[in-house]
């Protein structure tokens, strides 16, 4: 491809590699307008999607039908007819809080096996600045035998999916785009512009686009860490945190963050990608890591607050039964990736407390597989010494305080982490 060559984007056939919360909505939208192959190594997932069922609840059966040019496959041979590959696999961290690029590298290896001259590989997975060209492109070159920016090209367009959000969808959120050459940047931008009604922002380089993504959630993480720390201070001052935030929020430029557990696939993960890269180049990021320490310690703080309140009320802690309501990382969605509710559960169990977890949104098998937690089908009335409202699902709001309190023994503690109920209806809240 030369600078004089013009590509008609209508002629491009797309493969979306990874059909989770990010990949499926994108593939479905492109599939309304052009031929798309949705590829995933999870054969069960492919079977469900082929039957019109999305377990993540991000795309409805109706929307899958409307994506008439979208097909699903776990067979690498189906990728050979594609010339644009969009990678939307997870980028988690390991037990030592280090970036785990394994899914990204494996996806790159898969693409490398079918990569042809003139193809474009676009990455959407959150990474640190430089990862696309320093970690992924060499894999593509090694496996394919092709030369970067001579035989094939790359782009980066960070995902901005908000799981469970039915208002801000893939097409209504402005998209950052970039390419490995100016011409490829134009093609990538035009490709996304064909489906993104909110418009696009073309970054000057792949590294700029990568950095823009990783600081989005780092900024949010630090703001929440500040509010979490304020909450711990106000607890000692015997001041209600929400009342303080509501009072401060009367000023037009006060940011409306709330304290809580910080989990999910983005906010609790992305900052570690940035700090990893910063340390690799010899800079120790004090502010970012400080915020991470505060947020990673909130599960311990919540458990200790509950235990203290139980002791104040004369409730025996060792051998007590606690009901944790909600396991997902946010309300009204089935996503349990990197949920920090498990920190609360694990910490309480260290106090020799028996913990039941109830969440009507989650898949029980996934919960057992990922965290070893077998959720209860329905809470038992009059059975618990304490209840923790960990996630603000609509179902819990609709229950109201009387139903939730009915799960407790005559003497119990109700701790609301998400301001699901009114102050007068709970015993503790962050």
376 is catalytic: no
70-73 and 84-87: which strand pairing?
unpaired
Q: Which two tokens stand for residue 176?
A: 């950052």
Sign of the dihedral defined by the CA atoms of residues 127, 133, 138, 144, in that order: positive
Inter-residue long-range contacts of 307-316, CB under 8 Å, 24+ positions, other chains counted:
307/348, 307/351, 309/413, 309/415, 309/427, 309/428, 310/385, 310/386, 310/413, 313/411, 313/413, 314/411, 315/385, 315/386, 315/411, 315/412, 315/413, 316/385
Q: How far apart are CA 430 and CA 415, in angstroms?
A: 8
49, with CB counted inside 10 A (0-12, 13-18, 19+), is: buried
Q: How far is CA 185 from CA 8, 38, 268, in A?
A: 14, 23, 30
Q: Which residues 6+ apart lie within 8 Å of 79 measured at CB?
A: 15, 37, 39, 73, 85, 110, 111, 114
DSSP 198: T
Q: Which residues 6+ apart lie within 8 Å of 233 measured at CB?
A: none
Q: How far apart are CA 230 and CA 354, in angstroms?
A: 30
Q: Which residue among the candidates 136, 266, 333, 376 is catalytic per the annotation?
A: 266
- Range list of H helices, 145-269: 182-193, 206-236, 241-248
Q: How far apart are CA 193 and CA 112, in angstroms?
A: 26
Q: Which residues are catalytic?
A: 266
């Amino acid at each position: 491809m030369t600078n004089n060559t013009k590509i008609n984007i209508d002629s491009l056939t797309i493969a979306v590699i990874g059909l989770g919360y990010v990949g499926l909505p994108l593939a479905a939208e492109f599939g309304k307008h052009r031929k798309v192959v949705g590829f995933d190594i999870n054969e069960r997932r492919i079977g469900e999607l082929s039957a019109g069922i999305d377990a993540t609840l991000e795309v409805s059966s109706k929307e899958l039908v409307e994506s008439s040019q979208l097909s699903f496959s776990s067979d690498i041979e189906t990728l050979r007819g594609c010339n644009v590959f969009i990678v939307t696999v997870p980028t988690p961290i390991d037990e030592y809080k280090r970036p785990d690029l394994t899914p990204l590298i494996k996806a790159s290896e898969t693409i490398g096996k079918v990569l042809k001259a003139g193809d474009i590989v676009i990455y959407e997975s959150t990474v640190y600045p430089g990862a696309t060209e320093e970690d992924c492109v060499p894999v593509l070159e090694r496996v394919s035998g092709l030369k970067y920016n001579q035989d094939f090209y790359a782009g980066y367009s960070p995902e901005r999916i908000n799981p469970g959000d039915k208002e801000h969808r893939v097409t209504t959120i402005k998209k950052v785009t970039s390419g490995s050459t100016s011409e490829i940047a134009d093609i990538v931008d035009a490709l996304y512009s064909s489906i993104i009604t909110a418009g696009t922002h073309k970054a000057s380089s792949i590294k700029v686009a990568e950095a823009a993504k990783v600081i989005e959630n780092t900024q949010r993480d630090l703001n929440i860490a500040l509010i979490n720390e304020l909450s711990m201070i106000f607890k000692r001052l015997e001041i209600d945190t929400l009342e303080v935030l509501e009072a401060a929020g009367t000023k037009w430029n006060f940011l409306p963050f709330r304290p809580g557990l910080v989990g999910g696939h983005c906010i609790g993960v992305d900052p570690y990608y940035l700090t990893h890269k910063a340390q690799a180049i010899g800079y120790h990021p004090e502010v970012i890591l400080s915020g991470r320490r505060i947020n990673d310690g909130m599960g311990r703080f919540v458990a200790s607050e509950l235990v203290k309140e139980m002791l104040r009320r004369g409730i025996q802690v060792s051998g007590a039964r606690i009901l944790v309501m909600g396991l997902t990382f946010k309300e009204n969605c089935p996503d349990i990736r990197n949920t920090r509710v498990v920190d609360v559960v694990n910490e309480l169990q260290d106090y020799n407390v028996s913990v039941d977890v109830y969440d009507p949104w989650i898949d029980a098998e996934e919960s057992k597989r990922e965290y070893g937690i077998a959720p209860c089908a329905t809470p038992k009335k009059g059975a618990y010494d304490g209840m923790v409202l960990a996630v603000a699902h609509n179902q819990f709001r609709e229950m109201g305080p009387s139903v939730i309190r009915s799960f407790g023994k005559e003497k119990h503690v109700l701790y609301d982490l998400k301001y699901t109920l009114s102050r007068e209806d709970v015993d503790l809240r962050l």
